[in-house]
Amino acid sequence: MGSSANTETAMIVVASPASNHNNPVTNGGGAITNHTPGPILDLVISESDSSKKRRTGVLPLEVGTRVMCQWRDGKYHPVKVIERRKNYGGGNNDYEYYVHYTEFNRRLDEWIKLEQLDLDSVECALDEKVEDKVTSLKMTRHQKRKIDETHVEGHEELDAASLREHEEFTKVKNIATIELGKYEIETWYFSPFPPEYNDCVKLFFCEFCLSFMKRKEQLQRHMRKCDLKHPPGDEIYRSSTLSMFEVDGKKNKVYAQNLCYLAKLFLDHKTLYYDVDLFLFYILCECDDRGCHMVGYFSKEKHSEEAYNLACILTLPPYQRKGYGKFLIAFSYELSKKEGKVGTPERPLSDLGLVSYRGYWTRILLDILKKHKGNISIKELSDMTAIKAEDILSTLQSLELIQYRKGQHVICADPKVLDRHLKAAGRGGLDVDVSKMIWTPYKEQS
């Protein structure tokens, strides 16, 4: 699956038995035929010309085409062409292609150059509906269900027509990179910035007020005038260099909307909040002598009938794998405890979100079960942790710690099994020091 030059080299070296199974100069049984060197070279040239003609014939590639593409790891991976654009000043077939790596999440979709593609591997584009019909005929009902479950990852609330509309509207990233503080960050997904930003490949954000601009000079001028050194809101937590600010979407509407535009670049599964008035935003910051720098956040409805204690959660890419996501989840539950309520995250959860929550629930519940003497009920666990009973039940069931005995569900907490599950769940994040929280639930605020 390399370039044509590599293919020609493989064709010429026909004397090595190890390469017989890849060698075009063989008879039907795989044995090397007795060609003299002259005819072999003639064959190479003619096949190379034929291959070049065939490859030229498929250009430009149609949207929907499947082909192998060289990724940043140097290896070839299957992709589907999502969109294409002409290179100005190039020939008739000079295009760039926006591709989806079919083995990976959409966050890795990107524009690539023609030379990254192995044109010998091109599969002609099929009509999507025909392709779906052909595929469904070949699959068992169980396989079809599994495909459907993974295909709508993070979009379980959308019907088929809405899902297609969402994917069509958001299929191409509109902003490739952003600059935020000292970091330049590659984006993951489409975000619906105002139309005047449609021609921007890179955006520059003020890390304190989250205003965004098209040019570095604009940001520099803005920074000389911006007097914010932390998110606009109340500091409700400070422990060492970590700080948490509560921002009311109604009082700080522009900041909240800018935060949503920024977050959507890294979240595929949530629609953008236009009505930020109904939400509170909890911004986690690392603090130094220059100010408080946002590392992540979660949002929460002011009043939720479904007992949601978290609507959206994000740790910015430069700060991931440092325990901040787990800290944000733990913080949301500490707020629920102070409110005297049980809580659960809003569905659907992203792939990364589900992994984080499952790990958090596992660690919290198993820690209690290890220390607890005697019987304990799901209701008691819920009261102790503020975790919703359904989340407790699903977590313990996934760990096979629930058994049905004498007409009722019983938690089976064998110490060795608990230790094994705790080890698999990984370490917890940074601890929330509840004594450092200064916070009153929203309904009690004047």
| Cα separation, 212 vs 219, whole angstroms | 8
Residue 295 in 3-state DSSP?
strand
Helices (H), 58-119: none
- Partnered with residue 246 across adjacent β-strands are 234, 282
Encoding tokens for residue 302? 């002011």
Q: Which helix (H) or strand (E) holds 415?
A: helix 415-425
- Under 8 Å between Cβ of 338 and 442: no
Residue 397 in 3-state DSSP?
helix
| Cα separation, 303 vs 286, whole angstroms | 29
Q: Which helix (H) or strand (E) holds 78?
A: strand 76-86
Phi then psi dihedrals of residue 203, to 5 deg: -120, 150
Cα–Cα distances in angstroms (integers) from residue 224 to residues 217, 228, 258, 259, in the given order? 11, 11, 20, 21
| Cα separation, 150 vs 156, whole angstroms | 10
| Cα separation, 233 vs 256, whole angstroms | 11
- Catalytic residue chosen out of the listed positions 207, 246, 334, 346: 346
| Cα separation, 186 vs 317, whole angstroms | 9
| Cα separation, 254 vs 176, whole angstroms | 23
Reply yes or no on whether 115 is catalytic.
no
> Angle, to 10 degrees, between the axis of helix 378-385 and the axis of helix 351-371?
110
Residue numbers annotated as active site: 346
